[in-house]
Each structure stands twice: as C-alpha cells, then as structure tokens.
C-alpha cells in the first residue's frame, strides 16, 4: 500500500485565481460516490465550487509528486 502523504492544509484559492489563465481542457472520470460527497461538502465549507476545489487539489498533488521525484533523483 502506498505511503500516505500529508498535503498542504493552507491551500489558497486566491493564489490559483491570481495565476495567468491557461487554455482549459475537460476531463471525465468516475469516482466513488463517497468521495464525491466529501468533495461537495468540503467545497461548500470552503465557499468554493467543487470544480475549483478539484483543480487546486490536483495541482497541489502534481506539485508534491514533482518534488518527490526530484528528491528521489537527487538522492541516487
């Protein structure tokens, strides 16, 4: 089982909004209903849309992955 990574708890939606807009593409994926419910609830608590929340979470995950790959590459 993969090691669980603690992600940033200080996600700033203003940071994402302030970035230069890029061309957007649509992705379609199936997720468990329980995950969808959790995302909807979190987005509501944060006062944002589920789509916006997903973009921030995906972007943060990609940044974490890139950092981990760089750390692994530099340690070998």
- How would you label 23-37 residue by residue, b for 16+ Cβ within 10 Å and e otherwise? eeeeeeeeeeeeeee
Give the count of domains, the chain. Answer: 1
Domain of 51 in residue numbering reads as 32-76
Note whether residue 45 is domain-resident: yes
pTM above 0.85, yes or no: no
In a domain, 4, yes or no: no
Mean pLDDT in residue range 64-75: 90
Express each pLDDT in 6-65 by its tens digit. 545 555 666 655 666 678 788 898 999 999 999 999 999 989 999 889 988 998 899 899
pLDDT of residue 37: 96
Please give the pLDDT value at position 24. 79
pLDDT-derived band at 1 (thresholds 50, 70, 90) equals very low
Other CB atoms within a 10 A radius of the CB of residue 50 amount to: 14
pLDDT at 33: 96
Query: CA 54, CA 16: separation in Å to the nearest integer?
Result: 12
């Amino acid at each position: 089982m993969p090691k669980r990574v603690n992600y940033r708890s200080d996600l700033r939606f203003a940071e994402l909004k302030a970035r230069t807009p890029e061309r957007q593409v649509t992705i379609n994926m199936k997720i468990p209903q329980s995950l969808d419910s959790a995302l909807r609830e979190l987005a509501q608590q944060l006062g944002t849309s589920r789509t916006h929340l997903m973009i921030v979470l995906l972007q943060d995950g990609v940044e974490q992955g890139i950092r981990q790959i760089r750390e692994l590459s530099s340690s070998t």
